[in-house]
Amino acid sequence: MTNQDSSIDINAQADLEILAHLLRADAIVSNETGFLKKAFEAIWKPRGKLLLTSDEFARHLQRMA
């Protein structure tokens, strides 16, 4: 939202709602490469939260089994 050169992401509101759940979670799974990923890296990654793609999450589950 602070990058004036970026185009408006029509999913930004929904992405912000998903990111708000990280107040109580340690990770989210998303294949999003636009606003959600950029916002996550700016807000939550420095706080130790994880953003996993569906493939990364599947591999994580396989290691747990």
16-54 pLDDT, tens digit each: 888 887 888 899 999 988 888 988 999 999 999 999 999
With respect to residue 14, please indicate whether it lies within any of the assigned structural domains.
no
With respect to residue 43, please indicate whether it lies within any of the assigned structural domains.
yes
With respect to residue 1, please indicate whether it lies within any of the assigned structural domains.
no
pLDDT band at 2 (very low <50, low <70, confident <90, very high): low
With respect to residue 19, please indicate whether it lies within any of the assigned structural domains.
no
- Give the whole-angstrom CA distance, residue 19 versus residue 13: 10
With respect to residue 31, please indicate whether it lies within any of the assigned structural domains.
yes
Domain that holds residue 35: 27-64
With respect to residue 7, please indicate whether it lies within any of the assigned structural domains.
no
Structurally, the chain folds into a number of domains equal to 1
With respect to residue 21, please indicate whether it lies within any of the assigned structural domains.
no
Q: What is the CA radius of gyration of the chain?
A: 13
